[in-house]
Structure 1
Amino acid sequence: MLLARSRLGLLLLGALLTFLLYLLLPAARRSRLDEGKRDWWAANGTVRTGTAAGDFPVFYREVPAAAVSPRRPDVLFLHGQAFTSKTWEALGTLALLAAEGYRAVAIDLPGYGDSPPVEMAMTAQGRRTFLEHVFQELGMQRPVLVSPSMSGRFSLPFLLAHGDQLAGFVPIAPVGIKDYTAEQYRGVQTPTLILYGDGDTGLAPQALQNLQHLPQHRVAVLPGAGHACYLDKPEAFHQALLGFLRQLK
């Protein structure tokens, strides 16, 4: 009887140790991965800043990617009225995408941050031309354009005129959506992620009502987030953005 109890005790002890190892080993692997990422940030996480030369100088921020894949599109971040390119640096978005192998660049729109005002930005055609200039100066071919709020005044004219020059479009409750008809939106074939926070009861519903006419769209709603949903729920925002980028061809 005593021998049987001893064997039973050893079996239970072995089962307990196996269970603990099952729990601890994945955590250890994650810890090593996190440590590897920290080492990469220490060596490559410096944000590169500069001003793209040309007729319309524009200030930009960029984190060099570890290894940019030619199959992954560049990503250009615009910003809302109360923000600048610094927002995407502070949020960790540029660094996160760089770690995933994307070339991610954020710019200061004309008259914001360190970019000087330009007269051409007063018209829709001028703002479209400005983005054409930015793509050319930064050497971006068919990038993904991320456009929150006020920057819709720049991104939407470009999308409607040159949607085929974008690999993807991520509007975040942009303004200017009512300037175009449902028929115009239906003519755009750019893959689109309509992204917004469910607490944005102003611009988000209007944007969805109009942008849902884009044929190749999907929708991501961030619970508990407001108009600047990327600030309220950065992890959920990054997850939705990366999910969209990974499914692009």
Structure 2
Amino acid sequence: MKIVVIGGTGLIGSKLVAKLREHGHEAVAASPNTGVNTLTGEGLAEALAGASTVVDVSNSPSYEPEAVMEFFRTSTGNLLAAEAAAGVGHHVALSVVGTERMPENGYFAAKIAQEQLIVSSPIPFSIVHATQFFEFARGIADDATVEGKVHMAPVRFQPIAGDEVAQAVGRVAVGSPLKGRTEVAGPEQTRMDEFFRQALAAWGDPREVVTDPQAQYFGAVPGERTLVPDDGATLGTIRYLDWLKQNPAP
């Protein structure tokens, strides 16, 4: 099966391409680095020729609200049009748990717009909602730092290893279209402030973690269950502190 992975040289994409190839699939890593640009359409037709499935794990280079909205609307529109022309039978997209619960977050709003385009397209689809990746924990802490202290809301948090996100997306990609959404999350659900208190201690980071009910998550205050999945989500098995032993923080 030929599977084209948009964003195939990135964090999740590179892992996904490797896993698909291990299972005998023709996995094509498509990104600007390989001559495929979904914003301009460059290289799309050539990359999609003969593809059964397209997996979109690409991401915006900017998280500024207008820029990220433009990225997902333009790239998704171009990609879906190219897929229709190529006769692709399954579109898989990676999105985020809780997008619909925090639309005031610019990134989440852009992912909602992306999903709406996918759902309204005639191409059979599957959307995988994942929680935050372990790999992004440092960036989340840095964004939440105010005057040297890390402000975190006491809400539920259930991050996941990037390898397990790639594994979940891969399973969906080789199956029949879900024509809907599925969720994947890490094995442990805790409070966000408690997670980062433990994480910073494990990193050897001296910053204090402040429990702050009004703390923002990239521009918006999350609710109690904004960032965690509903019942029935597929759960990973890798715990953060175990993952950290193999992926020590810089």
TM-score (norm 1): 0.41
TM-score (norm 2): 0.41
Please identify the structure whose Cα radius of gyration is greater: 1
Task: Write 1 or 2 for the structure with the bigger share of helix.
Answer: 1
